[in-house]
Structure 1
Amino acid sequence: MPSSIPTIADLMADCTRSAVHLEMRDHYGVAAEADEFREWLQTGSVDTDPGSPGWAPWVDLVSSAVARGVVVRRARIVSEPVTDYIRYEHASTVVNVHAGEQVRWLPRRRASDIALPGNDFWLFDDHLIRWGFFSGNGALVGHEISKDPVAAKLCAEAFDAVWARATPHDHYQIH
Structure 2
Amino acid sequence: MPQPTFEELFRSARHSAYHLEMRDAYGLDEDYREWSAGHRFDPAERWPWWVELVSSTVARGVAVQRARIVSEPLSSYTRYEYELTAGHNVKAGEDVRWLPRRRASGLALPGNDFWLFDDTAVLFNHFAGDGTMTGEELVTDQTVVGLCSSAFSAVWERAIPHEEYRPT
TM-score, scaled relative to structure 2: 0.95
User: 1:61-115, CA deviations, whole angstroms, 9 ceiling, x for partnerless residues?
Assistant: 0001100000000000001111000000001111110110000000001000000
Indicate whether 1:56 and 2:54 are aligned.
Answer: no
Q: Give ranges in structure 2 of 5+ residues lacking alignment.
A: none
Answering whether residue 64 of structure 2 is matched by residue 69 of structure 1, we say no
Instruction: Kindly state the Cα deviation for residue 48 of structure 1 after the two structures are TM-superposed.
Output: 2.6
1:105 maps to 2:101: no
State yes or no: 1:168 paired with 2:123: no
Partner of residue 40, structure 1: 35
Cα 1:73/1:89, change in 2 over 3 Å: same
5+ unaligned residues in a row in structure 1: which ranges? Answer: none
Quote the Cα distance in structure 1 between the aligned partners of 2:40 and 2:107: 33
Query: For the aligned residues, what is the CA RMSD?
Result: 1.1
Paired residue secondary structure (2:163): helix
Is the Cα–Cα contact under 8 Å of residues 116 and 123 in structure 2 kept in the other structure? yes
- Distance in 2, matches of 1:97 and 1:137, equals 27
The percent of aligned pairs where both chains have the same amino acid is 52
Deviation at 1:6, TM superposition (A): 2.6
Q: Do the aligned partners of residues 133 and 49 (structure 1) sit closer, same or farther apart at CA in structure 2, a change above 3 Å counting?
A: closer
Per-residue CA deviation, residues 3-30 of structure 1 (Å, 9 max, x unaligned), is x443221111111000000000000016
2:150 is aligned with what amino acid?
E
Q: Alpha-carbon deviation of 1:122?
A: 0.1
Amino acid paired to 1:72 = V
Q: Secondary structure at the match of 1:171?
A: coil
CA contact (8 A) 1:46 1:92 kept: no
Cα displacement (A) at 1:49: 4.5
